[in-house]
Amino acid sequence: MAETEQGGEDAVRRVYGVLATGLGEALGEAREALVHHAGLLPEGRLGEFAALHDEFERRRVRIAFYGEVKAGKSTLINALAGRELSPSAFDPMTTLPIRITYGPATVWRVGGQTFESVDEVASLMRAGSVPSDEIVVETPVDLLRLGGQVDVLDTPGVGSDDRADQISADVLRSLDAVVLVVRYPGLFTKLTRHIMAGLESDIGKLFVVWNLDADCAELSEEERRRHAEQLRTDVAGAHELHLVDAREGLRAQAAGDAAGLASSGLDRFISALGHFASSSKREVAALREAAKRADKWFAEAESALGERRDYLSVTLEEVRTRLSDVEAVAQAEEKAVHDQFANFTAAIEHAEADREAGMNRCAAYLRRSIRTARRTWARSGDVEPLSAQLASAASAYENGVLTVGRDFTMATSRAAAEMGSQFAAEVPRRELLAAAPVAPEDRLDKSRQGRMQRLRRLIWRRWYLPGVTALEGEGIETDLAARKMWAASVRDDADRAMREVRDERLAGIAERRDAECARIKEATNYEAEVAELAALDENVPTIRARRQGVAEINREAWKLFG
């Protein structure tokens, strides 16, 4: 019956620890989430969250493990956890305290660094380059079966050096209990008695653990019993003595060996620590009231934050619509500018095609005129009419190409004007083509000598009149190429000028759009409200989830001792 009652107390104690840990965790997360939205809460509510969180942090049980160097403190702590949390495999031990506390995952934090294994921490400690005043181990391992409501401190070994002794003394402040770990043959040394006397004056509850390590193998059962009795005599009052084989306990705990756990003495020691740290009905009642208050606060915060989020969602949607309208107007204006430039480009291409066709017509006319003049010369052999006909044809050609060029420049200027810009195109130059001299005098003389002069002039007309031949071929082609280059220069200048106009207009549109959007955002406090809404979107689900968790804690708390 007593064992049944004890089992029930242990179960209640653990449930209380789980609920208290969960409530403290929920309050801590809520405080972090709500700090950004304090203005939405009743005045002082954020402080009440913090105060309640700190209250449950103070309720956590803090137990320090104390003793000489290599007494087995770290091994005993690891045995409680069933795994290696505190480095214990090297000598000498660190001169820094190691604090083991509750966390969602097992990690080792040293200063600003986080490690995933105890071996990494051990390497850092061996190197003597630990950038912190303590090493913090966060773990979900349920130390002492208290539902995460216990912090364990592994202190530096007393006697390692003066600094370590001072650190060990400092960490004794604000503790609930101290576990003094001793080992054979140092059970009754002057140092052990000095440590025990000092602890009795500083701490309310002292547990003395004789670590039954390998050095105890030489003791007979009678010697072990006699030493134990002597220790019990020395451990007076409310203090307790436990004989524990820490290494065997660690092995049994890790392997789930119930028999080995019992024979090592570790199970009884865990039970004694847990019983000392167990919650009372008064603490359970406080948990109930705290959970009830927190449930109300969470509901209140969820409602306030939810209303603000809904309001911001509607308000920002209206602002985004206004911004979208401004963007749509700007896009329409940009499209109009791009369309104007596309129309300009198409008009220039059309004007260039017309110019090319006109130049080809002028060239064809000149070639026909040259051929006609040459045939006339072939019949008579008189060069003066030939020169007159060529000059007239060249003049007509020049007038034609000037007209074609002017039409091209006018079309270019007209296309620029349709884009709303003035462009002064370069006017084509008058460059009269000439075939002088039409032929050397000796060839002209030969064309009028001998028999069958007319037939010879018809057959050898190109040889007799090399200047005319050059005009008909290279002269016309060279002139066409030069005028094509002129037209390309005009076209490039116009294109460059219209691109500048286009880019200037687009920049103006973008500037007006950005200025109007900036004005709207400033008038509506847009950026700040977007950031606030993003924070609400992140934090409202957190508050809702934590509210549900606290509601469940509230229900479970009412079942305890109910």
- Residues 535 and 301 sit within 8 Å (Cβ to Cβ): no
Length of the chain measured in residues = 562
* C-alpha dihedral sign at 375, 378, 380, 386: positive
- Residues 357 and 432 sit within 8 Å (Cβ to Cβ): no
Confidence (pLDDT) at 207: 85
Q: How many helices (H) and strands (E) does the chain have?
A: 18, 9
At 87, is the secondary structure helix, strand, or coil? coil
Rounded to an integer, the average pLDDT of 45-71 is 81
Give the C-alpha distances (Å, rounded to integers) separating 523 from 213, 520, 528: 76, 5, 11
- Nearest to residue 268, comparing CAs of 209, 224, 221? 209
How many CA atoms does the CB half-sphere of 214 hold within 13 Å? 1
Confidence (pLDDT) at 120: 83
Give the C-alpha distances (Å, rounded to integers) separating 328 from 317, 325, 443, 514, 525: 16, 5, 78, 12, 22
Give the C-alpha distances (Å, rounded to integers) separating 227 from 216, 240, 241, 323: 11, 15, 12, 86
Confidence (pLDDT) at 93: 46
Match 């193998």 to its residue by tokens. Answer: 217
Give the highest mean pLDDT range of 59-63, 259-263, 350-354. 350-354
More confident residue, 412 or 378: 412
Cα separation, 89 vs 75, whole angstroms: 9
Please give the order of strands across the beta sheet that includes 113-115.
113-115, 107-110, 135-139, 98-102, 150-154, 61-67, 177-183, 206-211, 240-244
* Residues forming a β-bridge with 178: 64, 206
For residue 89, is pLDDT > 60? no
Confidence (pLDDT) at 70: 80
Cα separation, 354 vs 360, whole angstroms: 10
Rounded to an integer, the average pLDDT of 524-530 is 95
Give the highest mean pLDDT range of 34-48, 206-220, 241-255, 322-336. 322-336
| End-to-end CA, the chain | 20
Cα separation, 134 vs 256, whole angstroms: 31
Confidence (pLDDT) at 83: 86
For residue 508, is pLDDT > 90? yes
Cα separation, 47 vs 31, whole angstroms: 9
Of 396-410, 434-448, 475-489, which gets the smallest average pLDDT? 434-448
Within 40-149, strands assigned E span 61-67, 98-102, 107-110, 113-115, 135-139
Confidence (pLDDT) at 332: 96
At 226, is the secondary structure helix, strand, or coil? helix
Confidence (pLDDT) at 177: 80
Of 45-54, 178-187, 252-261, 325-334, which gets the smallest average pLDDT? 178-187
Token pair listed for 334: 């940009």
CA 492, chain centre distance (Å): 47
For residue 227, is pLDDT > 60? yes
More confident residue, 361 or 79: 361
- Nearest to residue 390, comparing CAs of 410, 412, 368, 405? 368
For residue 150, is pLDDT > 90? no
The pLDDT confidence band at residue 111, using thresholds 50, 70 and 90, is confident
For residue 512, is pLDDT > 80? yes
Give the list of residues 6+ apart from residue 344 with CB closer than 8 angstroms, or none: 415, 416, 418, 419, 498
Cα separation, 230 vs 235, whole angstroms: 9
For residue 91, is pLDDT > 70? no
Range 350-361 burial, b when 16+ CB lie within 10 A, else e: ebbeebeebbee
Cα separation, 169 vs 195, whole angstroms: 10
Rounded to an integer, the average pLDDT of 509-515 is 96
Range 455-483 burial, b when 16+ CB lie within 10 A, else e: ebbeeebeebbebbbebbeebbeebbeeb
Cα separation, 69 vs 73, whole angstroms: 9
The pLDDT tens digits of the residues spanning 302-356 come to 999 999 999 999 999 999 999 999 999 999 999 999 999 999 999 999 999 999 9
Token pair listed for 432: 């009269």
The pLDDT confidence band at residue 281, using thresholds 50, 70 and 90, is low
What mean pLDDT is reported for the chain? 82
For residue 167, is pLDDT > 60? no
Supply the pTM of this predicted model: 0.57
The pLDDT tens digits of the residues spanning 8-26 come to 666 777 777 788 888 888 8
Composition of the chain by helix, strand, coil, percent to 5: 70, 10, 20
Give the list of residues 6+ apart from residue 530 with CB closer than 8 angstroms, or none: 316
Confidence (pLDDT) at 445: 66
Confidence (pLDDT) at 210: 84
Confidence (pLDDT) at 219: 79
Of 13-22, 75-84, 306-315, 458-467, which gets the smallest average pLDDT? 458-467
Instruction: Identify the structural domains of the chain with CATH numbers, from first to last.
Output: 62-254 (3.40.50.300), 311-524 (no CATH)
Cα separation, 182 vs 223, whole angstroms: 16
Rounded to an integer, the average pLDDT of 479-486 is 90
